[in-house]
Amino acid sequence: MDDTDCTHGRFSPDNWQFGGRGMPQLCKALQKIALIIPYRNRDKHLKTWLHYMHPFLQKQQGDYGIYVVEQVEDSTFNRAKLMNVGFTEASKDYHYDCFIFSDVDIILMDERNLYRCSQNPKHMANSLDKFNFRLPYQTLFGGIVAFTKEQFLKVNGFSNLFWGWGGEDDELYNRVVAAGMKVERPNPNISRSRVLTHPRDPGNEETRMSLHLINKAAQFMHEDGLNSLKYEIVSHTKHKLFTKITVNIGSSQQ
Q: Which residues are near ligand BGN by CB under 6 A? A: 142, 166-167, 169-170, 210-211
Minimum separation from the CB atom of position 195 to ligand BGN (A) = 10
The DSSP element (H or E) to which 225 belongs, if any, is none
Residue nearest to ligand BGN (CB): 166
Minimum separation from the CB atom of position 212 to ligand BGN (A) = 9
- Which one, of 222, 226, 249, lies nearest residue 149 by Cα? 226
Buried b (16+ CB within 10 A) or exposed e, 140-175: bbbbbbbbbbebbebbbbbbbbbbbbbbbbbbbbbb
Minimum separation from the CB atom of position 203 to ligand BGN (A) = 17
Nearer to ligand BGN, 29 or 104 (CB): 104
Minimum separation from the CB atom of position 136 to ligand BGN (A) = 6
Nearer to ligand BGN, 105 or 170 (CB): 170
Nearer to ligand BGN, 23 or 172 (CB): 172
Handedness of CA 55, 57, 59, 61 (dihedral sign): negative
Classify strands 192-195 and 127-128 as parallel, antiparallel or unpaired.
parallel
Nearer to ligand BGN, 19 or 164 (CB): 164
Q: Find all residues with CB under 8 Å of 10, minimum gap 6, and list them.
A: 24, 25, 26
Minimum separation from the CB atom of position 163 to ligand BGN (A) = 13
C-beta of residue 165 within 8 angstroms of C-beta of residue 192 = no
Nearer to ligand BGN, 31 or 204 (CB): 204
